[in-house]
């Protein structure tokens, strides 16, 4: 479990928990991953929450939007793997992908969704699976007897701005080409702010 989740459940300030981890004074076991992420293994929560198995393989799916976020992709994959191991999965598979969440042109995700041997797909946030209509994908998986597990199902505050930027970039890419899309989207956002 992530530091912020454990602090929230236990009623501690997140900064206090971070300090305890730095000073090795945590009252429960914790682990530092190579990426620097800290995963807390509180037996109280790990014993009661079991990974929902739908049968079949458990695959952790990590995605970022652009290749300059490769470090974030590695950290995201580490967090997902730690979550799955903490919930009792022996050998979770990890699939990483770089691609936009706004379209369906993600080969690795399409392969996972089409593979009936994949029983559970674990993602960090819903938007890592799809920016829009992730609920439809979840319903389709459920109808096949498969599951989608979202590690952190809370909505982030800045998601609306990021979603709007990605929608604008996607539309600009179709109109002006991929190379000019970011600049055109930034100009459109600036015009909207100045209006």
Q: What is the pLDDT of residues 143-158, one digit of tens each?
A: 888 999 888 876 554 5
Name the pTM for this structure.
Answer: 0.58
Q: How far apart are CA 62 and CA 127, in angstroms?
A: 10
Is 134 part of any domain? yes
Is residue 94 a contact partner of residue 60, using CB atoms and an 8 Å limit? yes
Q: How far apart are CA 139 and CA 143, in angstroms?
A: 6
* Same domain, yes or no: 75 and 133: yes
Segments forming the whole domain that contains residue 39: 3-46
* Same domain, yes or no: 69 and 144: yes
Residues taking part in catalysis: 65
* Same domain, yes or no: 117 and 33: no
* Same domain, yes or no: 87 and 172: no
Q: How far apart are CA 144 and CA 174, in angstroms?
A: 34
Q: What is the pLDDT of residues 155-185, one digit of tens each?
A: 554 556 667 777 777 777 777 776 777 777 7
- Distant-in-sequence, close-in-space partners of 162: CB < 8 Å, separation ≥ 6: none
- Distant-in-sequence, close-in-space partners of 172: CB < 8 Å, separation ≥ 6: 180, 181, 182, 184, 185, 188
């Amino acid at each position: 479990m992530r530091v912020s989740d454990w602090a929230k459940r236990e009623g501690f300030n997140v900064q206090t928990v971070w300090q305890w981890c730095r000073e090795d004074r945590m009252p429960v076991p914790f682990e530092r991953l190579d990426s620097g992420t800290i995963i807390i293994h509180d037996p109280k929560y790990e014993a009661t929450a079991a990974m929902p198995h739908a049968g079949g393989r458990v695959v952790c799916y990590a995605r970022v939007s652009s290749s300059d976020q490769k470090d974030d992709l590695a950290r995201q994959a580490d967090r997902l793997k730690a979550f799955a191991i903490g919930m009792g999965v022996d050998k979770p598979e990890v699939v990483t992908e770089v691609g936009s969440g706004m379209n369906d042109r993600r080969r690795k995700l399409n392969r996972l969704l089409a593979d009936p041997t994949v029983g559970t797909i674990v993602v960090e946030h819903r938007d890592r699976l799809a920016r829009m209509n992730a609920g439809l994908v979840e319903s389709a998986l459920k109808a096949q007897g498969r599951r989608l597990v979202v590690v952190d199902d809370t909505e982030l505050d800045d998601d609306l701005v990021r979603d709007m930027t990605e929608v604008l970039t996607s539309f600009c890419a179709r109109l002006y080409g991929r190379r000019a899309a970011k600049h055109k989207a930034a100009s459109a956002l600036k015009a909207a702010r100045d209006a």
